[in-house]
Amino acid sequence: MRDLALTLTQVGWTPAFARQLAQHPAGLLPARVIAVQRTGLTLAPEIHGLKKVAVAGRFFVQGVEARPTIGDWVLVDPVTGALEAVLVRSSLIKRLSPAGEVQLIAANINTAFIVTSCNADFSLSRLERYLSVVIDAGITPVVVVTKIDAVEEAAAYVTQARSLGPDIPVEAVNALDETTLKGLLRWCGPRQSIALLGSSGVGKSTLVNTLSGQEVQTTRAVRSEDDKGRHTTTSRSLHVLPYGGVILDSPGMREFQLAEAEQGVESLFMDVERIASACKFNDCKHGPEPGCAVRNALADGSLDARRLASFVKLQQEEQSNRAAIAQRGRRHQVASKKKPL
Ligand SMILES: Nc1nc2c(ncn2[C@@H]2O[C@H](COP(=O)(O)OP(=O)(O)OP(=O)(O)O)[C@@H](O)[C@H]2O)c(=O)[nH]1
Ligand SMILES: [Mg+2]
Ligand SMILES: [Zn+2]
């Protein structure tokens, strides 16, 4: 975000956040976190010329979710320049990092553009992974299928994407051509915050540039042998759109392990859950048990084997990751009790 002479409204301020101010000491000023460094945050609007604040140690001892992340609204003391509070979030996107830690991806997002391209990147199971997290966070998901100009049969990819769920919007675009992005604009208006999620090279930064009407992010061609991107974007950043909303560009993620997303998985795979509820035994593992509705549905073609496998995998992953996170949390509590600050 280049222009720091921005107003609160331009970076997504809403009356719901304004109402939270009453619960904090008077005189503190709100700002949005538009970039995160190791120990500091970049804010917009600036607070009396101050555009960066340090994050005090106390934000690090209360667990990962207490730390401010990109998209957060924070309160700053304009006299001391100290970060005093993080406002209660309307939503939070998180994942389990490859190191096994909960990583916050973005806060206070309304809509997630889950981006995939019409090439080797396209994977329904990966899309289901993103969808589970986004739905769990109460965020509107939109599947954005890019590079429709680069293939003969873009419609086949779009049809597959539409099979993900009856209520999940799918938009097919050429990210380089603004005339194809009209369908996305309904999510880009004032007070809207959009996050871009997807692998490297699918066109996330290209979408930011075309929607912005200017080159704000660097983009780079994908490898021709496997369509994989080159991890061109290396940090997260928020950008103001001419339509009134803000959009968050992120580095392409190699892995998107679920942190806690139980409700999201259940909601995305409601159709499978509904079938399984008709199994004769409550604890049916859908193996050799008699009266298994899931096996019957697979046999008569009303349930797709890939979708079932994806559901089982995400459900198991979510359960084991959630248990590991809870375990870490307990260890963290014990450790921080031993070392009072
Ligand atoms: N033909 C075509 N090319 C596209 C489209 N979208 C993106 N590209 C190209 O794909 C390449 C990768 O695009 P980027 O926008 O850099 O991809 P990214 O998702 O930001 O990748 P990372 O920053 O690495 O995560 C660039 O050369 C873009 O010009 C599209 O819809 N059609
Ligand atoms: Mg990029
Ligand atoms: Zn069964």
Tokens representing 192 are 């809207």
290 lies in the same domain as 324: yes
Cβ of residue 150 lying under 6 Å from some atom of ligand 1: yes
- Nearest ligand 1 atom to alpha carbon 234: 23
Alpha carbon distances (Å) from 104 to 17, 39, 236: 20, 15, 11
Last residue of a domain, one of 47, 62, 86: 86
149 lies in the same domain as 111: yes
Are 112 and 256 spatial neighbours (Cβ–Cβ below 8 Å)? no
C-alpha–C-alpha distance, residues 163 and 205, integer Å? 26
The pTM of the full predicted model, rounded to 2 decimals, is 0.94
341 residues of the chain, pLDDT tens digit each: 444 468 999 999 999 999 999 999 999 999 999 999 887 999 999 998 889 999 988 888 888 899 999 999 999 999 999 999 999 999 999 999 888 889 999 999 999 999 999 999 999 999 999 999 999 999 999 999 999 999 999 999 999 999 999 999 999 999 999 999 999 999 999 999 999 999 999 999 999 999 999 999 999 999 988 899 999 999 999 999 999 999 999 999 888 999 989 999 999 999 999 999 999 999 998 889 999 999 999 999 999 999 999 999 999 999 999 998 888 877 766 666 655 54
290 lies in the same domain as 234: no
123 lies in the same domain as 215: yes
Residue with CA nearest ligand 1 atom 16:
219
Last residue of a domain, one of 223, 249, 275: 249
Domain holding 277, by residue range, is: 262-338
Helix (H) or strand (E) holding 206: helix 204-212
- Centroid of ligand 1 to alpha carbon of 207 (angstroms): 8
How many domains would you assign to the chain? 3
107 lies in the same domain as 193: yes
Question: Is 93 a domain residue?
Answer: no
- Nearest ligand 1 atom to alpha carbon 173: 31
Cβ of residue 175 lying under 6 Å from some atom of ligand 1: yes
Omega prior to 45 cis, within 30 of 0: yes
Last residue of a domain, one of 228, 249, 270: 249
73 lies in the same domain as 136: no
Given this model, what pLDDT does residue 5 score?
Answer: 61
Q: How many CB atoms lie within 10 A of CB 72?
A: 22
